[in-house]
Amino acid sequence: MYIIAGLGNPSKEYERTRHNVGFDALDVLADKVGTTIEEKKFKGLYGRGIIGGEKVLLLKPQTFMNLSGESIRAAADFYKVEPDHIIVIYDDISLDVGQLRIRKKGSAGGHNGIKNIIAHLGTQEFPRIKVGVGDKPKKMDLADYVLSRFSKEDRALMEDAFKEAARAVEVMITDGADAAMNRFNGHKA
């Protein structure tokens, strides 16, 4: 079994912001899998499906970004899922808008949601899909930037990136992270 966690912040106020690209990509994946993410448990919303013959739990933590690890740990403990079967999708300001980067493990790189997941799982060894949201303008506060929305042009690029992120999850499950890295790393919408 796999847990696919898309990171974001709950409530309408944060919908379609840069910080919520994990939620947006998970919605695209849920559509592909033929499920909805509406059940409540694990301090989050979730849906279930099958990808490549494997059971998957699509999870949107509702703890706010900086406490995402609480939700992921609760689901992992319940289903006895090891970290190498937890795929996390989240925003990355060091990548161009719509660019993907897949990693099998790594540090938080300054991302507080990932930092909290590492703290709760006790390891950095879980696969992740970073979705580029572009670098913040020089004089803008980071929190304000990641909680802002995309321009119309950039949003169109992001819609393509969400589809590619969903495909990347499928490849990670069916063919492995290395195959997904070869296919999707550097992809720009």
Q: Could you report the per-residue pLDDT of 92-130, keeping only the tens digit for each?
A: 999 999 999 999 999 999 899 999 999 999 999 999 999
- Check residue 17 and give its pLDDT: 95
19 classed as catalytic: yes
Which residues contact residue 57 at a Cβ distance below 8 angstroms, ignoring those fewer than 6 apart? 1, 2, 3, 4, 46, 47, 48, 75, 79, 81
Q: Which helix (H) or strand (E) holds 61?
A: strand 54-61
- Check residue 186 and give its pLDDT: 76
- Check residue 83 and give its pLDDT: 97
Give the pTM.
0.96
- Check residue 189 and give its pLDDT: 63
Residues with pLDDT less than 70, the chain: 187, 189
